[in-house]
Chain A
Amino acid sequence: MASEGGKIDPMHQFMIEPIVPLNLAGYDISFTNSSLFMILVMATIWVFMLGGMKRQMVPGRWQAAVEGVNGFINDMVSTSVGPEGKKYVPLVFSLFMFILVANFMGMMPFGIVPGGHAFTVTSHLTVTAVLAILSFGTVLVVGFWKHKLHFFSLFVPHGTPWWLMWLIPFIELFSFLIRPFSLALRLFVAMTAGHVLMKVLAGFVINGLNADAAWVAPVVSLPAFILMIGITMLELLVCAIQAYVFALLTSLYINDAVNLH
C-alpha cells in the first residue's frame, strides 16, 4: 500500500519492482516481486503436494486433501475429455494449482509485515496471457497432431445446413481464435478488478479514520470496513472460481482437440 502524500493509489499494488536486476541477451529478466511470488506459489504447491506423498492406505487429513484435489482434477478432465484425457491431467492440474495458489497468495495479508505487500501474479496480463497461450497451444498441437488437417472440421459443426456454410465456419473460427484472449482477459480482469475494489474500500477506511472531521470515521469507515469483509469473502470465492473456470475451459478445449465435435 503506497501512501504518497496521504493519497492511496489502488494501482500501486500491481507495480512490478526489480529485486535483483538481471540481463540476458539484451532482455531485462530481473528477479522482481512478481518472480518472487511465482516462486512462493510454486513452493506452496510443492509443500502441499509433499503431504500427498505419504501414500498411506488410510490417508491422514493432509493426504486426503491432496488426493481430493487430485480426484477433483481427474474427474473434471475425465468428464470433459473422457478416458483419453488422462495424459492432460498434469497440465490442467498445474494450471489450476498455479492460478488457485497465485490468486490466494495475492489475498494473503503480507502487508502486516512492514515494507511487505502482497502481489497477485495472476493480475498481470503478461502472466495470464502466457497461461492462456499454454492452454491454447496445447489444444492446437494436440489437435493437429491427432487429426492433421482434419482438425479444421472443428469449424464445421455437425448438421450445419449447406446454405449456412459460408457463415458458420467463420463464426466457429472466430470463437476458436478468441479463446486465448477470453481465457487471459477473464482471469486478469477478475483479479485486477477485485484487488482494485478491495484497495479502494481499504482507502475509504483509512482516509475516513484520518479525516479531520470526527463524524467521518463512523459514517464512512465503519460501513466501508463491513463491506470490505464481505468483498474479501467474495474475492476469495472469485479466486477459486477463476482457477476452476480456467481449468474447466482448458479441459473442454482439449476435448475439442482430442475428440473434435
Chain B
Amino acid sequence: MPQISQILATYASQFFWLLIVFALIYFLIGKGILPKVDAAVDARDAKIASDLAAAEKVRGEAEGLEGAWQAELTQTRNAAQAEAQKAKAKAQKDAEARLAKADAEIAAKTSEAEAGIAKARAKALSGLEAVAADAAQDIVAKVSGIKVTPAQATLAVKAALTNG
C-alpha cells in the first residue's frame, strides 16, 4: 500500500502542498468569496422579507380603507333612514295638526251657524208672538168687542205658546 510504504518519503511534500492549498482555499474562498455569496443571499432574503412586509402593510391599509368606507356607508344609510323617519313623523304631525285645526274651524263654524240658527229661531219666535198677540187682540175685539191691551194679549199668547 503506497500510502504507508511511501509515507516517510512523501509526508513532507504532502503536508507542505496540502497546507498551502488548504490555506488558499480557507482564506481566499472560505473567507473571501463565501461571505460575499452569503451577503447576496442575505440581501435577497431581506429584500423578499421587506417586500412581503410592504405588501402586508398595504393590504392592511386597504382593509382599513375598506372598513372605513363600509362604516361610512352604514352611517350614511342610517342617517338617511333617520332623516326619512323624521320627515315622515313630521309630515304625520303636520297632517294631524292641520286636521285638528280644520276640525276646530269646522266646529267653530258649526257652533256659529247653530248660534245663528238659534238666534234666528228666537227672533222668528218673538216675531210670531207679536203677530199672534196682534191677531189675538184683533180677534178678541172683533168677536167680543172687548178692547184688550197689547200687554194682556202678549201675555195670553205667551202662555198659550208655552203650554200649547
A interface list, Cβ under 8 A from B: 11-12, 14-16, 18, 22, 24, 27-32, 34-35, 38-39, 41-42, 45-46, 49-50, 52-53, 55-57, 59, 63, 66-67, 70-71, 74, 89-91, 93-94, 97-98, 121, 123-127, 130-131, 134, 188, 192
Q: Is the CB of B25 within 8 A of A97?
A: yes
A130 touches which one: B13, B18, B29 (CB < 8 A)?
B18
A225 to B3, CA, bound (A): 27
- Total A-B contacts with CB atoms under 8 angstroms apart: 140
Residues of chain B with a CB closer than 8 A to A97's CB: 25, 29
Partner of A126, one of B7, B30, B36: B7
> Are B17 and A90 neighbours in the complex by a CB distance under 8 Å?
no
A131 to B14, CA, bound (A): 12
**B residues whose Cβ falls under 8 Å from a Cβ of A:** 1-4, 6-7, 9-19, 21-22, 24-26, 28-31, 33-41, 43-44, 47
B21: contacting residue among A39, A55, A90, A93, CB under 8 A: A39
**Judging by beta carbons under 8 Å apart, are B21 and A46 in contact?**
no
Query: In the complex, which residue of chain B has the Cβ closest to the Cβ of A29?
Result: B16
Interface centre among A15, A63, A67, A90 (most CB of B within 10 A): A90
Selected contact of B13 from candidates A32, A67, A90, A134, CB within 8 Å: A32
Q: How far is the CB of B32 from chain A (nearest CB, A)?
A: 9
Q: CA of A89 to CA of B14 in the docked complex: distance in angstroms?
A: 25
Residue in chain B with minimal CB distance to A130: B18
**Alpha-carbon distance A97/B37, docked complex (angstroms):** 15
- The residue on A at minimum CB distance from B39 is A55
